[in-house]
Structure 1
Amino acid sequence: MSGTMQAMVIDRFGEPDVFRLAEIERPTAGPGQVVIRVAWAGVNPADWKARRGWLAQYFDYRFPFVVGFDAAGTIAEVGAGVTSFAPGDRVVTASNQGLGENGTYAQFVRSDVDRVAHLPGACPMDLAAALPTAGITAFEALFDVGRLEPGQRVLVNGGAGGTGSFAIRLAREAGARVAATARAANHDYLRALGAECAIDYRSGDVAWAVRAWAGDDLALVVDTVGQGTLLDAVDWVRPGGTVAPIGTLIAGEPAHDARRAAARGVRVVPTIASFERQGRQLRALVERLADGAFDTIALTRMTLGQAAEAHRLVEEGHVRGKIVMEVS
Structure 2
Amino acid sequence: MKKIIYVLSLTLLASVFFGCDVLEPSQDAEPISDAAANYPTPTFTLTSSANLSALNEGDENVLVWDVTVDKPIDRNLNFSWVVLGGTATLHEDYDLVNATIPAYETTGQLMIMIHNDSAVEGAETLQLTVESGPSLASKYLVNPSSSYPTASLTINNFESDDLEMSFDWEKGIDFAGSTYGTCANIDLDIFVSNAAGFDINDPWATFNGTNYAATGDCPETFDWIMSDWGDGDYVIWHEVWSNGFAGLGTNTLVPITASISRAGVFSTTVVQADVQAMNSDNGGEADDLPVDTHGVIAQVSVANGIYTISDYNGNVVATGKTNTAKTKRPSIDKVERAIKTLH
Same fold (TM over 0.5): no
Structure 1 or 2, whichever has the larger Rg, is: 2
Of Structure 1 and Structure 2, the greater strand share is in: 2
Greater relative CO (CA pairs within 8 A, separation 6+): 1
Tell me the TM-score normalised to structure 1 length.
0.26
